Amino acid sequence: MGQPHSVGVVGLGVILDAYLATLADHPGVRIAAVADLDPDRARAVAERTGARAVAVAELMASDEVGTVLDLTTPGAHAEVALAAAAHGKNHYGEKPLAATLADAREVVGATTAAGTVLGCAPDTVLGTGIQTARAAVEAGRIGRPTAAVATWLSPGHEAWHPQPDFYYARGGGPVLDMGPYYLTSLVHLLGPVVAVSGAASRLRDTRTIATGPRAGAVIDVEVPTHVAGTLVHANGAISTVTVSFDAVGTHARPIEVHGEEGSLAIPDPNRFDGDVELLARGTRDWVTLEPSAGFVDASRGIGLLEMVEAAGLEAASSASSASSDTPRASGGVALHVMEIMTALLDSAETGRRIDLTTAPLVPPVVPLTPAERWRRG
């Protein structure tokens, strides 16, 4: 095994601990530097990880950092990604790729011009839940796919998040926040989307924070908070999607995929695992499928590890490699998902069906990869 690949982390908020659970002790990567708008937070994380606490500009300029892990809020994603490309560094970021489609296109263009590697969450689609379902579709277990239904309903993140402002600002809303999990899964399961129609609403113009030091504070809502739409896939299948901050809850399966010979019930795409169930034509009982693909017991950060190996950044990761130098949690897929999300909102505003311009190569299925292989090498 070569030297671990050096990573600099920008943005040290709530999601950081989930990434550190995967990356902190992994032999394939080393957290070399951390940066945050709050210097005290950066120093505390540096003490935990053995990294250096630095300013963002210093992290970008450091020869010690090969890849920038961007955990900032959506409005800062493009700025961080463009700075990484300008300094010749690879970039792996939290979803969405950027706050707007124009920014996302600029990020992809800058990365391509710089010759660096671009990866983007969600990497939950690489776990056994979505990958086992995808393997079943590709094996013909449901026959020719005809449709999918994806549903995520919630009363809103202000109920649990101490700083929920960005969920209701530019780059936020249920589509850009939770849509990436569901839409990326649908792209993996049924392939690229060619056209989108959408409708949207906003239940109220303010939200009240329910927890943390700002409990009781009222924040403005600038984005639609309930969005529904239809997606036409290149293979002819039609997906219907609903995402909402305006509902209490639902009994609906997170995702169902239907075909001429069967239907699949698919677990929460915000998780890496969960049961995949199959109802075959002519039967009455749903059957739970054994995991047959995906990273076993994976957690956030597996997409970065896979990117390190797939792109041969230092041949240091023990994640199962892709068939090319393109990471499975790729910028191309993230740009396509960004266009889908933007098209849903644009269609809701204009009342028109919108044809898409991006058509990424969907990465190959992840072979069933036991945890001991991707965790320790």
Residue 152 in 3-state DSSP? strand
Report, as an integer, the average pLDDT of 47-72.
Answer: 97
For residue 359, pLDDT beyond 70 = yes
| Domains of the chain as residue ranges with CATH | 5-124+298-331+363-376 (3.40.50.720), 125-289 (3.30.360.10)
Query: At 338, is the pLDDT very low, low, confident or very high (cuts 50, 70, 90)?
Result: very high
Task: Kindly report the length of the chain.
Answer: 377
pLDDT at 330: 96
Cβ count within 10 A of residue 104:
27
> What pLDDT is recorded for position 93?
98
Of the chain, the percentage scoring pLDDT greater than 70 comes to: 96
Q: Quick check: 233 and 190 in contact, CB under 8 A?
A: yes
**What's the pLDDT at 170?**
82
Alpha helix (H) residue ranges in the chain: 16-23, 39-49, 56-61, 74-86, 101-114, 128-138, 173-190, 302-310, 331-350, 371-376
| Section 5-16 average pLDDT | 96
- Where residue 314 falls among pLDDT bands split at 50, 70, 90? low
**How large is the average pLDDT for residues 110-114?**
97
Residue 324 has pLDDT above 50, yes or no: no
The arithmetic mean of pLDDT across residues 154-173, rounded, is 93
Mean pLDDT of 178-184: 97
What is the structure's pLDDT at 311?
75
For 250, residues 6+ apart whose C-beta sits below 8 A from its C-beta are 151, 153
CB–CB of 331/358 below 8 Å? no
Q: Is residue 349 over pLDDT 90? A: yes
* pLDDT score of 325: 66
Which among 87, 131, 113, 77 is positioned nearest to 289, based on CA atoms?
A: 131
Q: What is the pLDDT of residue 171?
A: 77
- Window from 72-81, 155-164, 169-178 with minimum mean pLDDT: 169-178
How far is the C-alpha of 235 from the C-alpha of 73, rounded, in Å? 34
pLDDT of residue 375: 83
Q: What is the mean pLDDT of residues 311-322?
A: 49
Does the structure show a pLDDT above 90 at 35? yes
pLDDT > 90? residue 313: no
Rounded mean pLDDT, 26-52: 97
Q: What is the mean pLDDT of residues 29-47?
A: 97
Cis preceding-peptide flag for 96 (omega within 30 of 0): yes
- Give 25's pLDDT tier (boundaries 50, 70, 90): confident
Contacts of 126 (CB under 8 A, 6+ apart): 272, 294, 295, 298, 302, 303, 306, 328, 329, 366
Return the pLDDT at 111: 97
Q: How far is CA 259 from the centre of its chain?
A: 26
Residue with tokens 């070569």: 2
d(CA 165, CA 154): 16
Helix (H) or strand (E) holding 244, with range, is strand 238-244
Tokens at 289, concatenated: 């499928």
pLDDT digits (tens, 9 = 90+) for 293-311: 999 999 999 999 999 988 7
Q: Which residue has the tokens 């849509």?
A: 179
- Write down the mean pLDDT value for the chain: 94
Both tokens of residue 180? 């990436």
CB 247 within 8 A of CB 226: yes
Q: How many percent of the chain have pLDDT more than 90?
A: 91
Confidence of residue 320 (pLDDT cuts 50, 70, 90): very low
* pTM listed for this prediction: 0.94
Specify the pLDDT at position 122: 98
Q: 38 pLDDT exceeds 70?
A: yes
Q: What is the CA radius of gyration of the chain?
A: 20
